[in-house]
């Protein structure tokens, strides 16, 4: 029992350090999320931040898909000369 307890204490000590790190990272992550960027960091749980991050990444993926689709369409419809220039630029 006692050994287990002491072990748990140690592990908790080491875990606290990572907890701090994770807390920092989570708060950093929170700053990237428009949804909860302006809310006070203390009032947002890590789980919520992570959930929001997942949602946000999904929305960004969707957005990127839409945009890439649109851009490809636009590119297809653009003048060939222009496209050629761009292609040349890209080739470099």
Partner 1 sequence: MPLYELYRMTKAKLDSQEKDNTYATDQSSSPENDFFELVWENGQISMQGKSSRARKSPVHKSLPSHSLPSHSPRTQYKDVGFSIDTRMGKLGHLDSGLNEIPISVPSDEMNLSQDEDMIPWLNYPMDDSLQHEYSFDFTRDVSGVTVNEFPSTSNNFALMDKRSSGNQVYKDSIRSPVPGVSSSEQAIITKGSSNGEVEPSGPKGNNSHLYPPSLQQCQTSFASSRPKISDSTENNTSNAILQAPCGEITQTPSSSSGFCSLNMQKHDPLCPRSSSNMMNFSHFARPAAIVRANLQSISMMSGLCSARSESLGTRKKDVDASSSNPPESTLIDLNNQKNCQKLVIDTSKAELKPANPKSLGQKADFANQFDPPCKEDGARKNNQISDQVPTGSGDKGQPAVEKSINPEVASSSVCSGNGVKRGSDNANKNLKRKSQDTEDSECQSEEVEEESVGIKKVAPARGTSSKRSRAAEVHNLSERRRRDRINEKMRALQELIPNCNKVDKASMLDEAIEYLKTLQLQVQIMSMGAGLYAPPNPMMLHPGMQHMQTPHMASFSPIGIGMQMGFGMGYGMSMSDMNSGSPRFPMVQVPQMQGTHFPVLPMPGPTAVLHGMPRSSPQVFGFPSQGLYMPMPNAPGVSMPGGPLMNPSSSGQNAFGAAGLRETVDSASASSLKEPMPNVNSQVMPSTGGSNSTVQISTQCEAMNVGIDQTPPVQTSGHTSNINDSGTTNPGKEDNLVIGND
Other C-beta atoms closer than 10 Å to the C-beta of 10 total 10
DSSP letter assigned to residue 85: H
Residues 26 and 52: beta-carbon distance below 8 Å: no
**Shortest reach from residue 63's CB to partner 1, in Å:** 5
Residues 26 and 50: beta-carbon distance below 8 Å: yes
**Shortest reach from residue 7's CB to partner 1, in Å:** 12
- Name which position in 34, 36, 40, 44 contacts partner 1 (CB under 8 A): 34
CA distance 7 to 75: 62
Residues that bind partner 1 (CB under 8 A): 1, 4-5, 18, 21-22, 25-26, 28-29, 32-34, 45-47, 50-51, 53-54, 56-58, 60-61, 63-64, 66-68, 70-72, 74-75, 77-79, 81-83, 85-92
């Amino acid at each position: 029992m006692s050994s287990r307890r002491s072990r748990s204490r140690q592990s908790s000590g080491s875990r606290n350090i990572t907890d701090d790190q994770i807390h920092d990272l989570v708060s950093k992550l929170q700053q990237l999320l428009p949804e909860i960027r302006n809310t006070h960091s203390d009032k947002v749980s890590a789980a919520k931040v992570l959930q929001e991050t997942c949602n946000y990444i999904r929305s960004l993926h969707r957005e990127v898909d839409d945009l890439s689709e649109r851009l490809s369409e636009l590119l297809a419809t653009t003048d060939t000369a222009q496209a050629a220039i761009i292609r040349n630029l890209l080739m470099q």
